């Protein structure tokens, strides 16, 4: 929060004082918590998908990359399966 206060003071020299936003600290804290737990959350979703299908289909790969936000290299590392050769083509096509 200290960094945000410095930023606020610095920007105030250009744009003037900013009004107080009472829930700012609460919002930043929540977003920081989400950011720190993203990797764990993504891995849990991927593990669940792998348990369900043992071998990931192209649609599973696309779901994990687009909806779960997991990089293809990470999926390959966790699943032990190579990245499908046409994954990026299919992503662009869809």
Question: Is residue 53, in this structure, part of any structural domain at all?
Answer: yes
Decide if 86 is inside a domain. Answer: yes
- Residue 18 covered by a domain: no
Extended strands (E) in the chain: none
Residue 26, both tokens: 């609460």
| pLDDT for residue 36 | 84
Domain annotation covers residue 1: no
Nearest to 82 by CA among 66, 53, 61: 61
* Max CA pair span of the chain: 57
Tell whether 70 is covered by a domain: yes
Percentage above 70 pLDDT, the chain: 100
Closest C-alpha among 19, 35, 84, 93 to residue 75: 84
Q: Is residue 15 part of a domain?
A: no
**How many independent structural domains does the chain possess?**
1
State the residue range of the domain holding 50.
23-93
Residue 63 confidence (pLDDT): 94
* Distance of alpha carbon 68 from alpha carbon 73, whole angstroms: 14
On average, the pLDDT of the chain sits at 91
Domain-embedded: residue 80: yes
């Amino acid at each position: 929060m200290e960094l945000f206060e410095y930023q606020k003071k610095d920007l105030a020299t250009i744009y003037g004082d900013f009004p107080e936003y009472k829930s700012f600290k609460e919002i930043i804290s929540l977003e920081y918590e989400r950011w720190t737990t993203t990797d764990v959350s993504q891995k849990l979703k991927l593990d669940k998908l792998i348990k369900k299908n043992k071998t990931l289909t192209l649609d599973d790969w696309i779901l994990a990359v687009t909806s779960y936000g997991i990089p293809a290299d990470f999926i390959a590392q966790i699943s032990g399966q190579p990245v499908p050769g046409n994954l990026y083509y299919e992503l662009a096509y869809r």
